[in-house]
């Protein structure tokens, strides 16, 4: 059985990483959604770099949770028939042990040089304006897909969705495209694991004129069979 799992910020919430649209919202008085844009970066690069530097540093203080580990066990069972597509820019899937993870919105631990177009593994801060290890210019930005930019590897994702027997969406609000449309593109059955029905699931249910997703509020226990 071919399975595509889409994950969003909700899967990392139990590890202690904030989601984007849930309650506590503001970062230094800014809406994270306003900071995570090319316009914000053009206006105030230092502010945006600091936002991502803090989130990169926070990774060392958190651990994968039971949901990340459950997906590793699913991969052990399904092998190459499982693809995890994540909107998250953290590395918790990889640290849990998942091998087949595709980050459509980039990764915190990668820096992109806008001068030479090379990408470099990056663990430290970018706000001080370090030189690119490739070309030596101070042109490194977070390797993150902001609004209006094209998500990574969409061909691979589209193909996997066309071929899948089951599409599982975990912990995403379903308001950001193209990920919000994956439930429509998926050929197979669909399952949503979330604390509440997402916008994507509601749209999908309407388009199929009936309940098309099953919600599992206590989803970690369900997945683990506790």
Positions in the binding site for ligand BJW (CB under 6 A): 8-10, 13-14, 19-22, 36, 87, 89, 105, 144-151, 154, 171-173, 175-178, 194-196, 198
Minimum CB separation of residue 214 from ligand BJW in Å reads 14
Q: Which is nearer to ligand BJW, 64 or 171 (CB)?
A: 171
Helix, strand or coil, per DSSP, at residue 113: strand
Beta bridge partners of 3: 82, 166
Position with the least CB separation from ligand BJW: 10
> Apex CA 19: angle with CA 186 and CA 23, to 5°?
125
Minimum CB separation of residue 182 from ligand BJW in Å reads 11
The answer to whether residue 184 is catalytic is no
Which listed residue (68, 102, 105, 184) is catalytic?
Answer: 105
Q: Which is nearer to ligand BJW, 10 or 64 (CB)?
A: 10
Which of 5, 160, 158 minimizes the C-alpha distance to 74?
5
Tokens of 45: 């690069």
Minimum CB separation of residue 11 from ligand BJW in Å reads 6
Minimum CB separation of residue 103 from ligand BJW in Å reads 9
Compute how many other C-beta atoms are within 10 angstroms of the C-beta atom of residue 69: 17
Q: Cite the active site residues.
A: 105
């Amino acid at each position: 059985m071919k399975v595509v799992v889409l994950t969003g910020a909700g899967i990392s919430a139990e590890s202690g990483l904030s989601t984007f649209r849930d309650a506590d919202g503001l970062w230094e008085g800014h809406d994270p959604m306003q900071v995570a844009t090319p316009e914000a970066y053009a206006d105030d690069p230092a502010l945006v770099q600091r936002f991502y530097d803090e989130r990169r540093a926070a990774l060392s203080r958190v651990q994968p949770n039971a949901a990340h580990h459950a997906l590793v066990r699913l991969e052990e069972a399904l092998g190459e028939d499982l693809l995890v597509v994540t909107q998250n820019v953290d590395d918790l899937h990889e640290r849990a042990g998942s091998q087949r993870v595709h980050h459509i919105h980039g990764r915190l631990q990668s820096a992109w040089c806008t001068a030479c177009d090379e990408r470099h593994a990056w663990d430290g801060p970018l706000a001080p304006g370090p030189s690119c290890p490739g070309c030596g210019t101070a042109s490194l930005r977070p390797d993150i897909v902001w609004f209006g930019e094209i998500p990574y590897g969409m061909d691979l994702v589209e193909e996997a969705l066309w071929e899948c027997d089951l599409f599982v969406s975990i912990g995403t609000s379903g308001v950001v495209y193209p990920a919000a449309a994956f439930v429509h593109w998926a050929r197979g059955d669909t399952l949503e694991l979330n604390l509440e029905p997402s916008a994507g699931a509601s749209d999908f249910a309407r388009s199929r004129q009936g309940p098309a997703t099953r919600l599992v509020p206590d989803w970690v226990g369900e997945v683990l069979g506790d």
